[in-house]
Amino acid sequence: MTPKKALLWFRNDLRLDDHEVLAQLPESVYQLLCVFCIDPRDWESQDPGISRTGPFRTQFLLESLHQLRHDLRARGNDLLVRMGPPELVIPEISQAWDPDIIYFEKEMAPYENQVEVELINNVRSRWFIKTYYGKSLIHPLDLPFDIDQLPDVFTKFRNLVEKKASLRPPYPAPEKLPPYPHEEWPVHDIPEFEELCKEALPNQEAKAQFQYSGGEKKALEHLNAYFSVPEKAQNYKETRNGLLGGHFSTRFSAWLSMGNLSPRRIMQQLKEFEAEHGANDSTYWIFFELLWRDYFRFAVWKYEEKFFQKNGIKNQAPAMQAHLGRFEQWRTGQTGQPFVDACMRELLHTGFMSNRGRQNVASYLVKDLNVDWRWGAAWFENRLIDYDPCSNYGNWAYVAGVGNDPRPNRWFNVERQAEMYDPEQSFQHHWLS
Ligand SMILES: Cc1cc2nc3c(=O)[nH]c(=O)nc-3n(C[C@H](O)[C@H](O)[C@H](O)COP(=O)(O)OP(=O)(O)OC[C@H]3O[C@@H](n4cnc5c(N)ncnc54)[C@H](O)[C@@H]3O)c2cc1C
């Protein structure tokens, strides 16, 4: 088949760099219709009455879309942004435009998967569909085992993939793209923030330690800036458990989650950095953390809905209650436990929390306050700029003891953790004063 008219449905792959479809578009394609669907269900409430997307990620998404449209235009194309469920919008557009092929990136979480299944059901009989994998560092086809054989312990997974899986290089961004069908599909303004999100963006400038801004341009600028100061990557393992400041960890996560940045591009830069400055435990640890990210992706793929259920993959849950009062105190940083409250206020006001903070507040909610872990995960889903279903629910299930943690009954002593990681209490003062 030599496709002439191609439709590309953008999802969480809002970039041009290392984008398999754009890099490998057949020469026969003379028109390319790029579409993004803003799905109103992403702003609906879930238990216990929390909108799935809060103000920080709404803003980050809109910035990413503006940048993507700008970058597509610079290459002779454009971006159609439509409101509505993709499984209806894409077939509707296809019905009217009759493309030869529809491309999209596969997601691994069950909700996103269901959207794909319904979309495919709605279009299969008429249009050819080609999907690709662009979210993980290790391509799923390069895994040295079938997905149902994925080890339930991270270390076993890491040992296997480090020995046997090869890493694919990133694709370069295309210099030029086929034209967009403007006459048939005029593009409209990208919706405003207020059309999507009921909650206003909190004023965060005063206390935020790092300013996130969505879009591939910012992502690549940040990536280059990170590796241009050798001390950062060279000391990552020592600094990564930090709490206060903008640069104790890489800060790649938000751009990775939105697909503004590809893990393979990070890896390529990391390899170049090691070739120039030398490899050490810290540079290895950046790779190690990206493997954690992959691991949760594959684990969710293996276990599907089970990951999102109370008993998780272990079929056993700690004693948990639907205690709304305690949850509200936790959510708003009013528990009276200063370290937990400082972390929760940072999240509330900025959309970010360190990994050390996330582990502690998650453990505190589940193991000290005995509240259902899925409520905590739902609040993180709303708040985190870097929210990603696999990393979020994978980590929450892990801390709650219903996921991939081989150690039973892990519990974070938050007072002890605060003494170790915030000995001068500067982080707590920063957020509590
Ligand atoms: C309860 C809980 C919920 C979380 N929810 C999310 C989420 O929704 N989205 C998300 O991206 N991360 C999540 N994480 C993982 C981790 O906290 C963040 O990825 C990290 O804090 C982001 O900051 P960074 O980019 O500076 O990370 P760095 O420390 O610099 O790590 C580099 C990259 O490795 C990956 N990574 C690091 N730690 C983890 C981890 N534990 N699990 C998966 N990937 C990891 C991220 O992509 C990160 O950008 C969660 C962790 C916990 C404990």
Q: Does 3.30.465.10 match the CATH number of domain 1-134?
A: no
Q: How far is the CA of 282 from the centre of ligand 1 (A)?
A: 16
Structure tokens, 253 = 């996560």
Task: State the Cα–Cα distance between residues 257 and 381, nearest whole angstrom.
Answer: 12
What sign for the dihedral angle of Cα 249, 293, 306, 389?
Answer: positive
Question: pTM for the complete prediction?
Answer: 0.98
Would you list the domain boundaries of the chain? 1-134, 136-169+213-303, 309-432
Please say whether the structural domain 309-432 has been given the CATH code 3.40.50.620: no
Q: Give 136-169+213-303's CATH code, choosing from 3.10.20.740, 2.60.120.380, 1.25.40.80, 3.40.190.10.
A: 1.25.40.80
Task: Classify 169 as helix, strand or coil.
Answer: coil
Q: Which pLDDT tens digit goes with each residue over 84-138? A: 999 999 999 999 999 999 999 999 999 999 999 999 999 877 899 999 999 999 9
Q: Does residue 248 contact residue 242 with C-beta atoms inside 8 Å?
A: yes
Say if residue 48 is preceded by a cis peptide, omega within 30 of 0.
yes
Query: What one-letter code names the amino acid at 54?
Result: G
SS3 403: coil
pLDDT tens digit string along 379-421?
A: 999 999 999 999 999 999 999 999 999 887 899 999 999 999 9
Residues 6+ apart with CB under 8 A from 19: 13, 134, 171, 173, 262
User: Residue 94 burial (CB < 10 Å; 0-12/13-18/19+)?
Assistant: buried
Distance 263 CA to ligand 1 centre (A): 13
Q: Which two tokens stand for residue 3?
A: 């496709």
| Least confident span in 138-142, 200-204, 259-263 | 200-204
**Ligand 1 mean position, distance from CA 351 (Å):** 13
- Which helix (H) or strand (E) segment holds residue 5: the answer is strand 5-10
Burial, 121: exposed, middle or buried (Cβ in 10 Å; 0-12, 13-18, 19+)? exposed
Q: How far is the CA of 407 from the centre of ligand 1 (A)?
A: 20
Q: Is 105 helix (H, G, I), strand (E, B) or coil?
A: strand
Please work out whether the CB of residue 240 comes within 6 Å of at least one atom of ligand 1: yes
* Structure confidence at residue 204 (pLDDT): 67
**Pocket lining: 364 vs ligand 1, CB cutoff 6 Å:** no
Tokens for 28?
Answer: 């026969």
289 lines ligand 1 (CB under 6 A): yes
- Cα–Cα distance, 262 to 170 (Å, whole number): 8
DSSP E strands, 241-336: none
Q: Which atom of ligand 1 is nearest to the CA of 256?
A: 47
- Residue found by looking up tokens 């449905």 in the block: 9
pLDDT tens, position by position, 31-81 = 999 999 999 999 999 999 999 999 999 999 999 999 999 999 999 999 999
Rg (CA), the chain: 22
Q: Within 13 A of 203's CA, how many CA atoms are on the CB side?
A: 1
**Ligand 1 centroid to residue 388 C-alpha, Å:** 9
